[in-house]
Amino acid sequence: MKTVVIGTFDAKTHLSEYLDKVAEGQSFVISKRGRPIAELRPLTVKEQHPQFGSDKGRVSIKSTFDDDIPEMSEYQK
């Protein structure tokens, strides 16, 4: 698809329509007084799902993790 140039007023007025077109793959350049200032285009980020065990070696839990906290003893009744 070709990139279309639209004005700021038009972009503001019809944003939801342009977002629908962006979801279909269309790109737009938004101009102010004839000067391009922004681009409205689909994201190219691919979905990434966390993989089990991907943090192995990055996280460590101290052996004292489950120890009582002296300052909290009055609350542990």
Residue 70 in any domain: the answer is no
pLDDT above 90 for 16: yes
Is there a domain that residue 7 lies in?
yes
Question: Tokens standing for 8?
Answer: 């700021």
> What CATH number is attached to the domain comprising 37?
3.40.1620.10
60 part of a folded domain: no
Domain total of the chain: 1
- The yes-or-no verdict on residue 38 having pLDDT over 90 is yes
Residue 77 lies in a domain: no
Backbone angles phi, psi at 26, to 5 degrees: -75, 145
pLDDT at 77: 67
- When the pLDDT of each residue in the chain is averaged and rounded to a whole number, the result is 89
- Alpha-carbon distance of 39 to 12, in angstroms, equals 13
Dist. CA 11–CA 29, nearest whole Å? 10
